[in-house]
């Protein structure tokens, strides 16, 4: 076997031997009150504040605007790896995910999204690790792409820079500030 083929094969093994640890959120490294601020091209500036643990879920409250306001825009409940369990709006309406939304699972993962009106949708999430984050696609049952994107992560596993694309909508994200105690 030539050196070039051996190095190429070794490179492929290194590139594909990643663990879920590389893309997981690490809530154990955060304290209540820690936050990140993200500029989103479609949604504006959003501040995500870590609130701690409630039962088996970790809670993040999100506020629109330049500074934390008194009005919560939405609350996200996540598992210990950063997968969404539910996404709740101030009026009580919510999206639920069973068993979770697979956001931080490498490879192929299937889940059910339950909309506020009770509509259930079976989806498949496919993710692969890249340097500093991950790329993903969310597919409908027929294989059509619902959403795709790329997420870069900080040392705590918080999402920072990246983008999502679904249909004709593209949302770009830019981490502008973070605070950790």
As given in the structure block, the two tokens for residue 118 are 């009770």
Q: Which domain, by its residues, includes 33? A: 21-179
Number of domains in the chain: 1
In a domain, 1, yes or no: no
pLDDT number for residue 8: 38
Other C-beta atoms closer than 10 Å to the C-beta of 41 total 12
pTM attached to this predicted model: 0.85
In a domain, 134, yes or no: yes
Output the tens digit of pLDDT for each of the chain's 181 residues. Answer: 433 433 333 344 444 444 556 788 999 999 999 999 999 998 889 999 999 999 999 999 999 876 656 688 899 999 999 999 999 999 999 999 999 999 999 999 999 999 999 999 999 999 999 999 999 999 999 999 999 999 999 999 899 999 999 988 999 999 999 999 9
C-alpha to C-alpha distance for 37 and 24, rounded to whole angstroms: 19
Other C-beta atoms closer than 10 Å to the C-beta of 70 total 5
CATH code, 107: 2.40.360
In a domain, 172, yes or no: yes
Give the tens place of pLDDT for each residue, 74-116: 999 999 999 999 999 999 999 999 999 999 999 999 999 999 9
Radius of gyration over every alpha carbon of the chain, rounded to an integer in angstroms: 18
Spell out the residues 6+ positions from residue 36 whose beta carbon is closer than 8 angstroms to its own.
47, 48, 154, 158, 159, 160, 175, 177, 178, 179
Chain centre to alpha carbon of residue 129: 13
In a domain, 74, yes or no: yes
Chain centre to alpha carbon of residue 69: 23
In a domain, 104, yes or no: yes
Nearest one of 149, 134, 127, 136 to 40, comparing CA atoms: 149
C-alpha to C-alpha distance for 97 and 76, rounded to whole angstroms: 11
């Amino acid at each position: 076997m030539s050196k070039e083929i051996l190095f190429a094969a070794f490179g492929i093994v290194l590139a594909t031997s990643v663990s879920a640890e590389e893309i997981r959120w690490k809530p154990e490294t955060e304290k209540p009150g820690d936050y990140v601020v993200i500029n989103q091209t479609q949604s504006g500036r959003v501040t995500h504040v870590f609130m701690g643990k409630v039962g088996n879920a970790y809670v993040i409250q999100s506020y629109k605007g330049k500074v934390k306001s008194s009005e919560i825009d939405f609350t996200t409940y996540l598992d210990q790896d950063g997968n969404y369990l539910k996404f709740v709006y101030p009026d009580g309406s919510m999206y639920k995910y069973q068993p979770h939304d697979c956001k931080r699972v490498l490879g192929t993962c299937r889940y059910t999204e339950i909309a506020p009106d009770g509509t259930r949708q079976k989806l498949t999430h496919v993710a692969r690790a890249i340097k500093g984050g991950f790329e993903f696609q969310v597919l409908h049952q027929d294989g059509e792409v619902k959403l795709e994107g790329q997420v870069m992560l900080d040392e705590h596993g918080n999402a920072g820079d990246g983008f999502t694309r679904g249909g004709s909508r593209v949302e770009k994200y830019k981490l502008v500030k973070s605070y950790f105690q």
